[in-house]
Chains A and B, each alone.
Chain A
Amino acid sequence: MFALVRLLVHLGLQSLKAHRSKTLIVGGLMTFGAFLVVVSLALLESVERGTRQSVVESISGDIQIYDKLAKDKLSLFGGFTFGTEELGNIPSFNKVKDAIAAVDNVRAVVPMGIATAGVKSPGDLDHALDDLRKAVDVGDRSQIHDLSARVKSIARVLLEQQAKQAAITETAASSESKVLLERALSDELWADMDRDPGGTLDWLESKLGPLGEQGNQAFMRLVGTDMPTFEKVFNRVRIVEGTAVPPGARGVLVGKSLLDKRLKFSVAMFLDLVHNERTKGETIATSTVLKETLQKAQRASPRIAYLLPPREVPAVKDALAKELAQPPSTELVPLLSSFFQMDDANFERRLKLFYDVIGPRIQLYPFKVGDTITLSSFTKSGYLKSMNVKVYGVYTVQGLDESIIAGALSLVDLVTFRELYGQRTAVLDDELAAMKKSAGIKEVDRGTAEADLFGGDDDIAVTVKTVEGSGVGTGSSDPVIEKVVRDEQMTFDQNTVGDGLVLSIAVMLKDPSKLRATLAALSKVCEPLGLQAVDWQQATGFIGQITLVVRAVLMTAIFILFLVTIVILNNSMVMATLERVSEFGTLRAIGAQRGFVNAMVVFETAVLGFLSGLFGAGLGVAFVTWLHGVGIPAPADLLQVVFGGPRLYPTVEASNVVAGLVATLIVGILATLYPARLATRVQPVVAMQGKD
């Protein structure tokens, strides 16, 4: 038997040698196939591990559990639809927690809820007027002086802008606003300021205020969670500034990349962007995008002039004049304009100057760690609710510091989340209706109320107003009730925070490789609780599914390649069989069974498949090892998340090599089925019919 197998292998090898060009083509294809399988499986699995690290250990956990009746699919980073998804709810986390935690392989359970909230930062003029009002209230004369100067410089910039705009559009500047702005710049107004600050301020706020630019409303995707537990379980989350939110305290941890890439002062953001691209090898000289970005920075630069406190202006002017080799007497705005005329030669120096000289003198972010910010959200019951929350710190996801996606979510305590999320209760619908009526609205069909809406006292200001095209889930002119909670309780009892609504529960596993089994076990537990369990790939929406999509695409490509290989292989094997009819006939005549002939042909491809599979897999291993050494840079932010960091360092597993080998062998054998069958059909009589 052994001798027979050896004979078959020998026959196979010899025949491969004899048909060299066929062997090279087919072997080459199979080598390439094995290489491709090994490399793509290694990359895919590395990417899956990368994505897993990015999302599982930063936010999602291995498994997410949420309401079975949810209208939308859970998607932690946001889905393709705008607004907050309908995820149903889990009325009490504590009631289901133990049942979930008891499932085998579950390491930790963390309650979660997603809400979208806007954080407002006022326009520069509003900001300055607000501060001025505060200074007037306390009678701080030097503050009043500084802020008056700031209001004046803003008015001057606005006036210039208006003039420019009028020149471009060739329409006369609105005389009304021109008059207002000129009055704001006049000495008599500021003389009035000294005499009657209150009255003057009223005029400024009501007349000048509306001329200022709108402030920014940035949207934050908030994940409400039990903060102490979260910080313990998600060990990729790093607080880079400030502190964790202490137990029982209301507060928010803001994603660093959200701050740096969405909320930062625009001029600084533009410069950061150019800097980033330059470190990746781009140059301003060759990139129109970078040129345009710098032009935007230049256009926005006058804002620096009025964000700077007047007493800081001379220092900035000195520094700029020195850099630009201009007399220090030059006005600030033209100095800034020249300063932002940047090129590859001066960019890094000027960037440093910007952050050394200008940065510390203006506020680069709309809020600082320690500030209390106002978050506004449309609650489930249709209120626009605003509440104040303290910013405790800034966090990043380890290895993904630069990624906007990884830092897109901000973390907030559960109590604040529940307030922002809101919940409709029947009892309060009536109260809301009554309230709306008293506010002069005849009928409000969407009238709903929240459990705690009227539980407060005078701290809570409730207004009813019509917001044009404003809200999430609101018709364009629906009346909206806005509730502003200004001085709410800033603490709560951490121990009872689980006795209440959450939207989902993150489950972290002891052994992530047993995900499938645990998911099945959890699903069984969840079913009677009215919950569903999904793996992290589903729970993270499109990010988790990128790998699934890439896998599907790659597998399809490999499948097609193999189909092509099978066809080519089949054809060349059929040709080879026809050439060997006399050989097969002779073997049959001297007593070889059909099975032997069949085995001969199959062995031949099996030998070729095995050798080229081994060779291709070897090349694949070498290639992946090389990639592991150099790392594949993530070209886009999204890919950083998928790669689990700025670079992917793929590794190859033994299973990848086995898969490559098995795949080529299967392809080889499939391709041989038909030619082998042909060979067995060769009749022994052909041996007798002379030569060929």
Chain B
Amino acid sequence: MSAIIEVQGVIKDYPLGKLSVRALHGVDLTIARGEFTAIAGPSGSGKTTLLNLIGCVDVPTEGTVVFDGAVTSKLSDRELTRLRLEKLGFIFQSFNLVAVLSVFQNVELPLLLQGGIGNDERKKRVVDILDRVGIGKYIGHRPNELSGGQRQRVAIARALVTRPKLVLADEPTANLDSVTGGQILGLMKELNQQQGVTFLFSTHDHRVMELAGRIVQVQDGRVVDDGKQGKTPTSASAAAPTPAAH
């Protein structure tokens, strides 16, 4: 099975006044289709930066990110946008639903942007996915009428409705209590196992990591541990440069 993502020697600098801050110091990472991977690391370690590069909302300063065979730094803004629309799904830390649209409309939005899908087909897909994430009865509600967990379920539905090749989630449980966070992660895991959706999510919550098939430890802009094959470190000392388990 070919990799959906190949990150090779990626350096990312952010301009900060006249200086620049190096957020990533040469990262290599490969994500295969069907994986359920967590990127773990303390705040400021570069998780979001890495996800941005993989999610095609930003391009690396040096090195390459190859998404589904395309080198992102060689694509135009238009092409990157198209790529995000067709092949990626996003789940955000603060849900980022469009406040003035109903649950249904929020989920329908990416399909409308894609175009070329008939009305009935579109409706069916939206309703199906909402049922799948367990929010079917709130179809006409506005986001502000829902709880945080319900909102994140809507966000998951929105990310999945286009049947993307990769779903990225940047700290999807950070704004939720631990029980709800666990349920959301459980739902993601379920979708991964039942439908084969590839997930890549960042978190600094250890209990969340337990569900991950693979944990990539990031620290100070470097990958310090790539726990391939789903073994979860039992120790909370993520900072310790432990050898990768097999």
Interface residues of A (CB under 8 A from B): 1, 3-4, 7, 10-11, 14-15, 17-18, 582-583, 586-594, 596, 683-685, 687-691
Contacts and interface: CB of A to CB of B under 8 A. Distances in A.
Those 4 A-B pairs whose CB atoms lie nearest each other, nearest first: A591-B85, A14-B100, A684-B57, A691-B94
B105 A7 contact: yes
Contacts of B101: 10-11, 14
B178 to A, nearest CB: 19
A4 B86 contact: no
B98 A583 contact: yes
Contact of A586 (B52, B55, B96): B96
Contacts of B115: 1, 4
A3 B112 contact: yes
Interface of B: 48, 51-52, 55, 57-58, 77-78, 81-82, 84-86, 88, 90, 92-94, 96, 98-101, 105, 109-110, 112-115, 119, 122, 158-159, 162, 170, 175
Contact of A590 (B58, B158, B175): B158
A590 B110 contact: yes
A593 B119 CA distance: 22
B100 A687 contact: no
Contacts of A18: 99-100
Nearest to A686: B57
A593 B99 contact: no
Contacts of B77: 594
A683 B57 CA distance: 8
A662 to B, nearest CB: 28
A11 B102 CA distance: 11
17 contacts: A3-B112, A3-B122, A7-B109, A18-B99, A582-B96, A586-B96, A586-B98, A590-B85, A590-B159, A591-B86, A594-B77, A594-B81, A687-B90, A688-B51, A688-B57, A688-B92, A689-B48
Contacts of B114: 591
A589 B55 contact: yes
A132 to B, nearest CB: 99
Contacts of A17: 100
Given A590-B159, A684-B81, 13 more contacts: A1-B115, A3-B119, A3-B122, A4-B112, A7-B105, A14-B100, A590-B110, A591-B81, A591-B82, A594-B77, A685-B52, A687-B92, A688-B55
Given A1-B115, A687-B57, A591 B100 contact: no
A593 B112 CA distance: 12
Given A590-B109, A684-B84, A15 B100 contact: yes
A508 to B, nearest CB: 61
Contact of B81 (A7, A10, A582, A588): A588
A593 B77 CA distance: 9
A689 B23 CA distance: 15
Nearest to A683: B57
In this complex, which of A11, A589, A683 has the most chain B Cβ atoms within 10 angstroms of its Cβ? A589
A681 to B, nearest CB: 11
Nearest to B92: A687
Contact of A596 (B48, B86, B113): B113
A233 B18 CA distance: 84
Contacts of B55: 589, 688
Given A3-B119, A590-B85, A593-B78, A685 B100 contact: no
Given A1-B115, A7-B112, A18-B100, A591 B84 contact: yes
A370 B159 CA distance: 100
A11 B100 CA distance: 7
Contacts of B175: 691
Contacts of A687: 57, 90, 92, 96
B175 to A, nearest CB: 8
Nearest to A18: B100
Residue from B52, B96, B122 whose CB has the most chain A CB atoms within 10 Å: B96
A10 B109 CA distance: 12
Nearest to B82: A591
A690 B98 contact: no
Contact of A591 (B92, B96, B98, B110): B110
Nearest to B96: A586
Contacts of A586: 92, 96, 98
A690 B94 contact: yes
A690 B110 CA distance: 21
